[in-house]
Structure 1
Amino acid sequence: MKHTLRRRSFIHAFGAVPLIGSGLTLAAPAFAQGAKVTLKYANNLPLSHPMNIRAKEASYAIKQETQGAVDLQIFPSGQMGSDTDMLSQVRAGAIDFMTLGGDVLSTLVPVASICSVGFVFKNYDEVWAAMDGDLGAHIREAIGKAGLFAMEKSWDNGFRQITTSGKPVNTPADLKGMKIRVPVSPLWTSLFKAFDASPTSINFSEVYSALQTKVVEGQENPLALIDAIRLYEVQKFCSLTGHIWSNYWFLANARGWNKLPKDIQTVMAKHLNAAGVNERADLVALNTKLEGQLAAKGLVFNKVDTAAFRTALQKSGFYADWSKKYGKDAWAVLEKYAGALA
């Protein structure tokens, strides 16, 4: 149902309501004279990424539908700090919203990374059935218990691929001993240790320099991010492993979110969730053309037999170990969509 919010309803709703991030309490007369709610949304991606393009559209739509009352300001490219910095600021209320991957969020909400268990999802049909279904609901419930609010629709970060400077990755054996950058996440570290690699946790903002200075030989990210931060300048090979699908949750401080009037929540959720769904389609379209564009910039691509990697993880006990860490209930929800793993 389309929501039409009139100025009168906003005046009534905002009367003496504390506003998250603003430090203000607006009485009805102040709002009637043009007062606004200014909210901060931060992320670590460049403005050119589909996430920020769609977030900007959502911000405009929110402002339009609220008749200028809500101004969602976007701070991209890590302007507010690293992922871990921004998460701390959201929890403290210094930032109102952020988008964060399940990898980093798992340091606070362990089950948030379950959708990124290695070599689980084969395609997007499996991904969105799970994330728009019981698996996504299970994760959001856990996020809520940690004092955060997650929008219903998860945003796409894409299937991750491995880039390297020395040699391509064709088999699990090619990862043995390789120094590879991974996010600050126990799951990622565990995955590559299962292949006898040497994973190093480095924040996203430092990936380029770590590769440039040879602190690590390789890294893994979706093609959109490989292109966005110009990793083709410091990497030679791109192995299409699709080893992990990763997402972004659009998060808010739960206390701050709950202080917003219900009609404001409805408008914001509607447009932000729609933006998330549109971003998913954008990323698929982008990735279909990026391989050719990145190849033209010097990256050498190769495809791998993912079944060999999944078998290696089963033999190593990787799935069995993580099924215990996530718990039988969460693991059962995952296997509902991915099939038997351990």
Structure 2
Amino acid sequence: MKKPFKKAVMATAIGAGIALSSIMPAFADEIVVGTNGKPGNPKVTAAEMFGLLVAQRSRGEHSVKVAHSATLGDDRQMLKSVRVGSMHITVNSDGPVAEILPDLNAFGLPYLFDNLPAAWEVLDGPIGDDLAKKLEAKGYKVLAWWDNGIRKITHTSKPIKTPADIKGMKIRTPQSQVTIDAFQALGANPAPLAFSELPAALQSGVFEGQENPLANIYSSKLHELTPYIAKSNHKYEMTPVLASKRWFDALSDADKKIIQDAADAATWYNRGLFLINDVQLEQTLKEEGAKLNEVDSAAFKKATAGVYDKWAKQIGDIVPQIQKAAAAASGK
């Protein structure tokens, strides 16, 4: 994966909703990109940006169809489709990808990154490059590491300020074991569920709350179901952008460059949206009835410290390596 270059560009919406055929040809005029995000989510708008750039750079020879809202399956299904070559690209979630490469769990350890730029610095450095090589060996070409923000906790009926407020809470998590471990350490009752199924599960009372960045909360209107938003900032999540290695390797060098350059440029659009939304959406959410509050971060950090020990035993040296890199990127 090439290092992203910073460019500012504007995106317009591209249609979604596609049906997959069987194995796709190596050279395709229409490139299929699948994601679980809903319209307005930075994953979707960045994928649309990627499509515009591909069309422009290829002078109309290629176009991109963005299948949002998990219309082509959940994250696990899309990963399988990309690996076998029946989907070109997936803008996926780090939890399901970590099931393929457990080292990725290290990026989701609680309170690892103080801010988004620190996470980007580590992802764009040697650690990110090494993870990309390991995924190539498993059939995936890493086009980019996009963002899925720094996450907050929401609840249907009460503010969350200390770990005691979470004890016994039925909370939805993504399909990420490290996230489940963190909430178990806090005394909650976490359970994973596909993002596309989350609103219905909250409406039915299966869960009392969930955790996501503000951009995801707002684009999926989760604040209407869980209006109490704790600014816990408890973990960072990336969004791996993975192409079928089988498909990508069969492209011409010129087409590979078009795809990679477009992914690099869209990376900074995606990251910028999350950075801006984390600030601007607070006011918007308050205006729409959400109740935001600060938390006792020191108490949360102390309660989840044991998660590091568990994962250091499971995945080894990547944990102290990423802790050191994260501290350096944060200026500690």
Tell me the TM-score normalised to structure 2 length: 0.88
SS in 1 for 2:161: coil
Aligned residue identity for 1:50: P
1:165-184, Cα deviation, whole Å (9 max, x unpaired) = 13211111221111100112
Structure 1 pair 238/25, CA: closer, same or farther in 2 (3 Å)?
A: closer
Partner Cα separation in structure 1 for residue 308 and residue 279 of structure 2: 30
CA contact (8 A) 2:94 2:176 kept: no
CA contact (8 A) 2:159 2:229 kept: yes
Q: Does 1:65 align with 2:57?
A: yes
Report the alpha carbon displacement of residue 338 of structure 1 after superposing the two structures with TM: 2.9
Match of 1:220 among 211, 226, 235: 211
1:77-122, Cα deviation, whole Å (9 max, x unpaired) = 1111111221121122111101112112111111122211111111
The aligned counterpart of 1:199 is 190
1:185-221, Cα deviation, whole Å (9 max, x unpaired) = 2111111111111001111011111111110101000
The aligned counterpart of 2:298 is 307
Report the alpha carbon displacement of residue 305 of structure 1 after superposing the two structures with TM: 2.5
Q: Does 1:266 align with 2:257?
A: yes
Match of 1:334 among 315, 318, 322: 322
CA contact (8 A) 1:143 1:149 kept: yes
Report the alpha carbon displacement of residue 67 of structure 1 after superposing the two structures with TM: 2.5
The aligned counterpart of 2:314 is 325
Partner Cα separation in structure 2 for residue 79 and residue 125 of structure 1: 31
The aligned counterpart of 1:112 is 104
Report the alpha carbon displacement of residue 138 of structure 1 after superposing the two structures with TM: 2.7
Number of aligned residue pairs: give it. 308
Q: Does 1:170 align with 2:161?
A: yes
The aligned counterpart of 1:128 is 120
Report the alpha carbon displacement of residue 22 of structure 1 after superposing the two structures with TM: 6.7
> Which of these two proteins has the greater Rg computed from alpha carbons?
1
Structure number with higher relative contact order (C-alpha < 8 Å, ≥ 6 residues apart): 2
1:245-300, Cα deviation, whole Å (9 max, x unpaired) = 11111101111111111111111101111101121112211221111111121211
1:136-166, Cα deviation, whole Å (9 max, x unpaired) = 1232122122211111x31111101000013
CA contact (8 A) 2:132 2:142 kept: yes
Aligned residue identity for 1:86: M
Report the alpha carbon displacement of residue 24 of structure 1 after superposing the two structures with TM: 4.7
Partner Cα separation in structure 2 for residue 207 and residue 190 of structure 1: 20
Structure 1 pair 25/265, CA: closer, same or farther in 2 (3 Å)?
A: closer
CA contact (8 A) 2:35 2:43 kept: no
Partner Cα separation in structure 1 for residue 63 and residue 169 of structure 2: 46
Structure 2 gap segments, 5+ residues each: 1-20
Aligned residue identity for 1:40: V
Aligned residue identity for 2:150: F
Partner Cα separation in structure 2 for residue 149 and residue 216 of structure 1: 36
Tell me the TM-score normalised to structure 1 length: 0.85
CA contact (8 A) 1:22 1:37 kept: no
Structure 1 pair 117/25, CA: closer, same or farther in 2 (3 Å)?
A: closer
Aligned residue identity for 1:164: H
Larger deviation, residues 172-181 vs 217-226 = 172-181
CA contact (8 A) 1:116 1:244 kept: yes
The aligned counterpart of 1:33 is none
Match of 2:239 among 238, 244, 248: 248
CA RMSD across the alignment = 1.9
Partner Cα separation in structure 2 for residue 163 and residue 43 of structure 1: 23
Report the alpha carbon displacement of residue 125 of structure 1 after superposing the two structures with TM: 3.2
Aligned residue identity for 1:304: V
CA contact (8 A) 1:22 1:38 kept: no
Q: Does 1:39 align with 2:27?
A: no
Match of 2:282 among 272, 284, 291: 291
Partner Cα separation in structure 2 for residue 25 and residue 160 of structure 1: 37
CA contact (8 A) 2:145 2:238 kept: yes
CA contact (8 A) 2:25 2:247 kept: no
Structure 1 gap segments, 5+ residues each: 1-19, 27-35
Q: Does 1:158 align with 2:149?
A: yes
Match of 1:142 among 123, 128, 134: 134
